[in-house]
Amino acid sequence: MSYDRSHTGAWREKELSLRQVMEKYPEVSPFVIIKTDAQRRGVEYADRALAAVDPDIHLTKVRSDYSNKEDLTPVSLMMRDGTSICTSVDVGGNTSSGRDPYLVDVVDGKVVLVDENRVIEEVSYWEKPDFHEKETSRGTPMWHVVSVRPQRLCIHPHQHCDYWKTPGHGCKFCAMSAVYHSGNKPELLDVRDIVESVAEAIKEPGRNVNIFLTGGTLCGGENFLDDEVNYYEEILGGITKLFGGRRFPSQLISTAFSFEQLRRLYDNTGLTSYTADIEVLNKDLFAWICPGKAATIGYDEWKERLCRAVEIFGKGNVNTGLVVGVEFATPNGFENEDEALESILAEADELSSCGVGVVGCVWHVSPVSIFKKQISPGLEYYVRLAKGFDRIRRKYGINVDMDNYRRCGNHPDTDLGRI
């Protein structure tokens, strides 16, 4: 199947519809397919849906490395099976990658997803945690420091990325630099603010199953990336003390650290799982799309560092994320979906053979990224690739509960692991 790159209003005629994909792949949960399509196309809110938002209950404010939002629209959505739909909140407005977004509306008293005047699925709004409106001892609003998903605390300590400070080194799909410069945000969060906010957040019983950290790359230090490692070690060390010095359910998404750097993080903190996102599984596309990563670490070394991380954290506790769909970006991307699937799944199999889980995020084309005029592939491609990732993880016995629907919610393919 060839990949249609055109931006036209007739996109529905050129790819399988949601219903057709669900009928063609009955073995895939409809919740997974709906979630994928909503993340791919985006959502907009009807007036009735906005009227149903209660800012005393629902999460409407978020500050992270990719978001700087303070209005009365919901941060995101949840479906009836507990699956999150991580809809994007863009600086410069939402985008649906050349396609109509889903409409969130109220029908018969229920908040629902609607497409072409047809109710697709009931949804609900994420609820805000108890700590959200409190302040740290320094007077910092805690929601500026720790954002949340339904069952996860999210910490974004470095809200810029050093790769963007070198012309031509930023990842072409990434909106981090634009988001940072759009608002009054510190580049680095204060460690005391982070630890105080987490201490307050974990007082709420039954709310959280995981603490997650990620941010932009910090290139400096005695050795390359030492500044980033030292910063995370200080933060994780402070949080570890809240748990009596023991290991606690946690995930770090960072640059691909050396074995020695990772060993130090693991030995000196309570961190339990590790992710280094390679973004795209193709050496040539990696060099084009992620030039900073390619210039400083390189594709082969990135994969080697992931495999060695398994020696420290263990199989099932190390993975790498892809921006699924970016492999079709023009002018250098794939033009045929079957060829893309074959190539990507072969490389995913290679990584998984050493115990690294491969997971995919649905590419949401940001209007403030270098790739803002690109278009993501059709829904069927995402479903086929999700099935492939799930099949490979089962082949090698890799359980990625570290990054599942409760701890993250951003990867439709990991939702298949529940079945």
Which CATH number belongs to the domain containing residue 199 in this structure?
Answer: 3.20.20.70
Q: Is residue 324, in this structure, part of any structural domain at all? A: yes
- Give the span between the Cα atoms of 55 and 93, in whole angstroms: 21
Residue 134 neighbours by CB distance under 10 Å: 14
Q: Is residue 52, in this structure, part of any structural domain at all? A: no
The per-residue pLDDT for 4 is 52
For the entire predicted model, the pTM comes to 0.93
- Give the span between the Cα atoms of 387 and 242, in whole angstroms: 39
Alpha-carbon distance values, 107 to 33, 49, 193, 404 (Å): 22, 9, 42, 30
The per-residue pLDDT for 131 is 96
Q: Is residue 137, in this structure, part of any structural domain at all? A: yes
Q: Is residue 92, in this structure, part of any structural domain at all? A: no
Q: Which long-range contacts (CB under 8 A, 24 or more apart) does 404-407 make?
A: 405/82, 405/83, 405/84, 406/82, 406/150, 406/151, 406/152, 406/209, 406/210, 407/151, 407/152, 407/209, 407/210, 407/212, 407/249, 407/251
Per-residue pLDDT of the chain (419 residues; tens, 9 = 90+): 544 545 446 889 999 999 999 999 999 999 999 999 999 999 999 999 999 999 999 999 888 766 677 788 999 999 999 889 988 654 444 554 678 899 999 999 999 999 999 999 999 999 999 999 999 999 999 999 999 989 999 999 998 999 999 999 999 999 888 887 777 788 999 999 999 999 999 999 999 999 999 999 999 999 999 999 999 999 999 999 999 999 999 999 999 999 999 999 999 999 999 999 999 999 999 999 999 999 999 999 999 999 999 999 999 999 999 999 999 999 999 999 999 999 999 999 999 999 999 999 999 888 889 999 999 999 999 999 999 999 999 999 999 888 877 888 888 999 988 87
Q: Is residue 18, in this structure, part of any structural domain at all? A: yes
Query: What sign does the CA torsion over 229, 231, 232, 238 have?
Result: positive
Q: Are 40 and 364 in contact (CB under 8 A)?
A: yes
Tell me how many domains the chain contains. Answer: 1
Alpha-carbon distance values, 136 to 194, 199, 201 (Å): 9, 10, 12
Q: Where in the sequence is the domain holding 152, given as residue range(s)?
A: 11-28+129-418
User: Residues 6 or more apart from 185 whose CB is under 8 A from it?
Assistant: 63, 68, 159
- Give the span between the Cα atoms of 275 and 361, in whole angstroms: 13
The per-residue pLDDT for 99 is 87
The per-residue pLDDT for 278 is 98
Q: Residue 379: is it exposed, middle or buried by C-beta count within 10 angstroms (0-12/13-18/19+)?
A: buried
Residue 214 neighbours by CB distance under 10 Å: 19
Q: Is residue 109, in this structure, part of any structural domain at all? A: no
- Give the span between the Cα atoms of 196 and 356, in whole angstroms: 33
Structure tokens at 106: 């109220």
The per-residue pLDDT for 298 is 98
Structure tokens at 392: 């490979």
The per-residue pLDDT for 419 is 73
Query: What sign does the CA torsion over 205, 207, 209, 211 have?
Result: negative
Q: Is residue 88, in this structure, part of any structural domain at all? A: no
Q: Is residue 275, in this structure, part of any structural domain at all? A: yes
